Amino acid sequence: MSLSQTLRGAAARALGKSARVEQIVAMSPRVVRVRLSSARLAASEIPPGAKIKLHVGHGEMRSYTPVVSEGADGTMDVVVYAHADGAACRWVRQLTVGDDVAFIGPSTSVRGPDGPLPWACIYGDETAIGLAEAIVGALPAGTPVVGALETAAEDAAALTDSRLDAVLRGQTHGDALMDHLKQLDLPPGDGVVWLSGEASAVLRLRQALLDRGLVREQLRIKPYWSLKGKAHRKKLERTVLRS
């Protein structure tokens, strides 16, 4: 481990909060739901769409979306997609109940629902399962919810409890979501669309929605990762996604 990683790990532990792993549930081969508890976690401080930065070992921090269950003050869940071989993937695979986890946050990331809506629409991939749950959970009862989450075939079980449609990934990331959107009749009225997951897929969905006549104010967009790397995701956020 490099000196800078050692320092980042020490800083995360010193400056961040500490949580205990209470439960680990495999939702599918690569999607894991982790329940964390912390005396310093009030549910009211975790708005839907917030992010936390988890220390995943060796000085590495990764962003995740906390999901708070009703009446569960002091605990939050994160739904972690262990896609392949990143630091977070290795971390979650070796995690056990009782482990301590340092984290920073919660802090603002995606704007959640802020009042009644004629409808809500959500599109995302495995990384957005937690975000979708947090957004749907914060909508006023009875709000129509449409949209879909895309997973690889082997992880389809992770969407069993989702209120969104489940679509299976084809050869290209996001194609199944684009096909779903083409078939989708949006309900009447000015609803809100949340887009997250892989950056290029998010960009294509955004353009298709604008082409259908939605306006920028109806879109809440946050790419969570990019097939072309983190710098690409950050650049999109600074440029085209800002307009």
* Residue ranges in contact with ligand FAD by CB under 6 A: 51, 62-65, 78-81, 83, 86-89, 109, 127, 130, 222, 224-225, 229
Closest contact distance (angstroms) between CB of 127 and ligand FAD is 3
In the bound state with ligand FAD, the residue whose beta carbon lies nearer, of 212 and 234, is 234
Q: How far is the CB of 205 from ligand FAD (least distance, A)?
A: 16
Q: Which is nearer to ligand FAD, 88 or 176 (CB)?
A: 88
| Nearest residue (CB) to ligand FAD, 20 versus 62 | 62
Going by DSSP bridges, is the β-strand pair 75-81/31-37 parallel, antiparallel, or unpaired? antiparallel
Output the smallest distance, CB 216 to ligand FAD, in A: 20
The smaller minimum CB distance to ligand FAD, of residues 95 and 184, is found at 95
Nearest in space to 194 (alpha carbons), one of 149, 152, 151: 149
- 75 φψ region: left (φ > 0), alpha (ψ -120 to 50), beta (else): beta
Q: How far is the CB of 188 from ligand FAD (least distance, A)?
A: 31
Nearest residue by C-beta to ligand FAD?
86
For residues 188 and 213, is the Cβ–Cβ distance under 8 A?
no
In terms of DSSP bridges, do strands 145-151 and 165-168 run parallel, antiparallel, or are they unpaired?
parallel
* Nearest residue (CB) to ligand FAD, 182 versus 242: 242
Q: Three-state DSSP class for 206?
A: helix
CB of 134 to ligand FAD, least distance (A): 9
Burial of 163 (0-12, 13-18, 19+ CB in 10 A): middle
> Can you tell me whether residue 222 is helix, strand or coil?
strand
